[in-house]
Amino acid sequence: MSIQLDVVIINPYTRTQVYQSLGTNLSAIENPIWAGLIATYCRQSGLHVEMIDAEALGLLPHEVATQVIYLKPKLVVVVVYGHQPSASTQVMVGASRVCACIKQLRADQPILILGGHVAALPERTLSEEHVDYVATGEGVQTIVELVQALSTPNPDMTKVRGLCLKQDNKIIKTEEVPLLENLDESLPGIAWDLLPMERYRSHNWHCLDGTDRHPYAAIYTTLGCPYHCSFCCIQAPFKRPEAALGFRNSVNSYRYWTPNHIISEIDFLVSKYGVKNLKIADEMFVLNRRHVLQICDLLINRKYNLNIWAYSRLDTIKDGMLPKLREAGFRWLALGIESGDSSVRNGIHKAFSEETVYRVIEEAQKAGIYVIGNFIFGLPDDTDETMKETLRLAVELNCEFANFYSAMGYPGSALYYQALNAGVPLPASWSGYSQHSYDCLPLPTRHIPAREVLGFRDYAFQYYFNSDRYLNRITSVFGDSARKMISEMIKVPLKRGLLDGSITVPSVLLPMRSETNNHQKVGQLNLISN
């Protein structure tokens, strides 16, 4: 007698929609961390689980739907998370399509959708999408309780915690589930055996030194972030569960797996799958000194010689941490610099000095750690001049890689609610929240329209990576092959509907360099027209 499958967990395919042609070879393909954690939790609770990583396998919505119908699960769970917390909304493009396809083939198939985006907008998601249920929090306990309810003859869905559902033509939300505590026991790891591990690859920049981009894995060591950056939506799935635990709304949770538990996960990845490239996907890894250094010591003792990257704030890196990180295998740190103007940084709760920026990056590079500088154009207080200051700072710092973003009103972030209250236009489709999509629509500033923000962002990307200053540095650090890879990267077309298909910046923003001045003065930036 066969046992009916309880849950099929789906990571939807979105890469080509949100990255355009950048998604073909340049972007990372990451294992879905939340989906993997959920699968383990469900198994631990006695459920039979399968997973479909459509993103890794390149499965179109109708192909996923066909598999689901064949498997006949009690519940389909569609997980809406991206490579980082702010990428959740853009995953809705694929999630929406796969839910619709499943319902077309089997209208009575129960579907639950969860993730950062849907936790921020549960009622809207339930109203607009072809789903039966929306998780209002983390979702892991909700799945188990929902399957248990679906397994009974006359289920009372209002008893399932952390759920948004329709009843008597009304949308209701059930009692919230408190945050999971003691992560070592409650979320003990990712169900790696359910994932196509051979399909995952690191970002192009992660392997500028020529390291093979396979095999690759991403893990969490913490959940949440204690900071309140206005552009970030990371806490969206945690806020209601935090309230259920008695947290004040102004306080963010920040939970840890123990270092010994984390190292056992890394041990498994190295021994079972030969993982060399590793991402610590925490929104803020370099924060708690004891946590970070204990993990470093455990890695150093193992001498794995990994290629690890992680996120950090500039002001959380303390004395003595950088050499230890490098010895442990952390070769890259992504640092949120955001803006070249202190008043703009202050407006988003990033109150560190420019001196700190220079000092920390210099110290990281002296320790042998490569730096990814993260910069945002179009923050609320940005002007033409402050955006140019941000690009000037990026050029001066000349980090080994740089990410240039436009400010977005991601659902769940303070900027989103500010935009709603002010009547500021937001993207008409979820793909419009992707930094790289055709229909990308960033926020305007108090001084600059959205079109000019996006134009400046795209221009800054081309300017930075085309500059001899950057390319010469890459050649000196990584060699000719890395320079060739960067040169090929900037040739990949990125079409923008808002810019009429071209990258343009009004000349009033960017004074032209005199033909007689053939050198670029760092600190007095003159920008070249494309």
CA distance 268 to 275: 9
Give the Cα separation of 530 and 525 in Å (integer): 16
- Amino acid 349: pLDDT: 58
Same domain as 285, residue 162: no
Edge-first strand order for the sheet with 75-80 is: 49-53, 7-11, 75-80, 111-115, 133-135, 163-167, 170-173
What pLDDT sits at residue 522? 41
Number of structural domains the chain divides into: 2
| Residue 382 belongs to some domain of the structure | yes
| pLDDT (average), residues 36-61 | 97
Cis peptide before 155 (omega within 30 of 0): no
Q: Cα–Cα distance between 477 and 86 in angstroms, integer?
A: 31
Mean pLDDT of 60-83: 96
* pLDDT score for 516: 31
Which tops the pLDDT comparison, 518 or 42? 42
Q: Is the pLDDT of residue 146 over 90?
A: yes
Q: What is the 3-state secondary structure (H, E, C) of 247-263?
A: CCCCCCCEEECCHHHHH
High-pLDDT (> 70) share of the chain, % = 92
In a domain, 524, yes or no: no
Q: Is the pLDDT of residue 20 over 70?
A: no
Q: What is the dihedral of CA 227, 442, 400, 481, to 10 degrees?
A: 140
On whether residue 514 sits in a domain, the answer given is no
Mean of pLDDT values over 188-202: 97
pTM: 0.92
Average pLDDT over residues 14-42: 85
Task: Give dist(CA 504, CA 514) in Å, integer.
Answer: 19
pLDDT exceeding 90 applies to what percent of the chain?
Answer: 80
The residue type of 398 is N
Q: pLDDT digits over 432-480, tens only?
A: 999 989 999 999 999 999 999 999 999 999 999 999 999 999 999 999 9
pLDDT of residue 104 exceeding 60, the answer is yes
* Whole-number Å distance between alpha carbons of 30 and 55: 9
Considering the domain architecture, whether residues 128 and 210 belong to the same structural domain is answered as no
Instruction: Find the CATH number of the domain harbouring 98.
Output: 3.40.50.2300
- Residue 317 in tokens: 């890196």
Same domain? For 309 and 262 the reply is yes
Residues contacting 483, CB < 8 A, separation 6+: 471, 474, 475
Do residue 159 and residue 215 come from a single domain? Answer: no
Place of tokens 């920026």: 357
Query: Is residue 286 assigned to a domain?
Result: yes
CATH of the domain at 277: 3.80.30.20
Q: Domain range holding 394? A: 201-221+257-407+442-489
Both tokens of residue 269?
A: 């990845």
Are 372 and 480 within one domain? yes
Task: Please write the tens of the pLDDT for every residue from 364-414.
Answer: 999 999 999 999 999 998 999 999 999 999 999 999 999 999 999 999 999
Q: What is the DSSP string of 113-170?
A: EEEHHHHHSHHHHHHHSS-SEEESS--HHHHHHHHHHHTSSS--GGGSTTEEEEETTE
Residues in the chain: 530
**pLDDT one-digit tens code per residue, 296-339:** 999 999 999 999 999 999 989 998 999 999 999 999 999 999 88
CA distance 163 to 157: 8
Q: Are residues 169 and 209 in the same domain?
A: no
What pLDDT score does 351 carry? 64
Contact assessment for residue 219 and residue 41, using Cβ atoms and an 8 Å cutoff:
no
Q: pLDDT-based confidence at 14, cuts 50/70/90?
A: confident
Residue 53 lies in a domain: yes
Q: What pLDDT, in 10s, does the model give residues 243-278?
A: 999 999 889 999 999 999 999 999 999 999 999 999
530 is a domain residue: no
**Contacts of residue 281, Cβ cutoff 8 Å, sequence gap at least 6:** 30, 33, 83, 84, 218, 219, 220
Same domain, 215 and 131: no
Question: Is residue 124 situated within a structural domain?
Answer: yes
For residues 91 and 82, the answer to whether their CB atoms sit within 8 Å is yes
